[in-house]
A = this chain, B = another copy of it.
Amino acid sequence: MNYVSTAVTPVVSPFDALGLTDVTAKLEDSILIVTLNRSHKMNSFSEKMGVDLVRIFQFGDQDDRVRVIVLTADPASPAFCAGVDMEEVTRGSSLLGRKEDTEIGHRDPGGQVAMAIYNNRKITIVAVNGHASGIGLTALQFPFDFRFIWSGSKLTIPFVRLGIAPESTSTYLLSRLIGESRAAAVLFSGAVMQPDSPFLSSLYYEVLPQRTDVLPSAIVLAKTISVNFSQTSIAYSKGLLHHAGTSIEENHLLDSRVIKLLGTSRDAAEGAKAFMQRRKPKFSDTLTRSLSPWYPWWKITDVRHPKSKL
């Protein structure tokens, strides 16, 4: 298997129009594998890497052929991601805000990536096969549904040491993921931790002793999901987890409606039939064809740049 480069895919890749340079992508058996491709820079996060990641995760969200998206890093790199590219920052990239931006005009590139992952309607998995710093945790680990990691990874969030602050929507995500006690320890201690740290361990679905085992283990889960799970079920379920409502009563109205919508779907009929016949289901509903216009039911705050036409 070669998850590193798109060079081995057919002549016309579905990703050609995306103009990817700092990541590569490969679609295989409904699994979209995305690889950080800046090993010469320890996979540090560049402005272009952020653009590439938003594009490829949006592609994965919208293309019905994709059931699971897996992010990993070129194993040739000494780090999974060594943080933002500080050379780019000092040259004036948008990573910490351009000089010409007004106070409310900046849009954090890490946050754009985090939203493209967290709001993705497909299952997202990250395979952290190396050390990670700053944005290598915040944007590139926190927003995923499942996190696999190498036990030897050294992990640190250095923002308060650098005179800046946690970005990439990390304060929102981390307190939701593991609670505010551990989030404070991770964000404010400046300590270097490993995956078995009691502050971080609940983030990880699986911790692997070998760097080279991380991606294959993530792929095993990705295959289970892509073969056995309904695409529409996943989209509604992620919606219910991320937008559960502000009270148990509101959640009851939401999940009742989802159950009713899915309960009459082809996938639910197939799921029940397969269950009774003790065989694997063959789901055929897709997001393009089968989602109710009611989805998404939550209000989405417009985060476009005030002057953006996008």
Contacts and interface: CB of A to CB of B under 8 A. Distances in A.
B96 A249 contact: no
A159 interface: yes
Contact of A187 (B182, B237, B245): B237
Contacts of A256: 97, 106-108, 111, 167
Nearest to A177: B181
Contact of A233 (B164, B244, B250, B292): B164
**Chain A: interface residue count, which band?**
35 or more
A186 B86 CA distance: 38
A173 interface: yes
B259 A97 contact: yes
A66 interface: no
B119 A248 contact: yes
A228 B190 contact: yes
Interface string A175-188: 11111111111011
Given A163-B271, A176-B175, A190 B229 contact: yes
A189 B301 CA distance: 30
A86 B255 contact: no
A116 B165 CA distance: 22
Q: A101, A264, A276 — which one has the most chain B CB atoms within 10 A of its CB? A: A264
Interface stretch (A7-15, A16-24, A35-43, A201-209): A201-209
A165 B252 contact: no
Contact of A247 (B97, B177, B301): B301
Given A180-B242, A187-B241, 8 more contacts: A89-B272, A115-B248, A163-B266, A164-B268, A175-B176, A176-B179, A188-B234, A247-B301
12 contacts: A86-B276, A111-B256, A146-B185, A146-B188, A161-B230, A164-B263, A169-B248, A172-B247, A172-B248, A177-B181, A189-B205, A253-B303
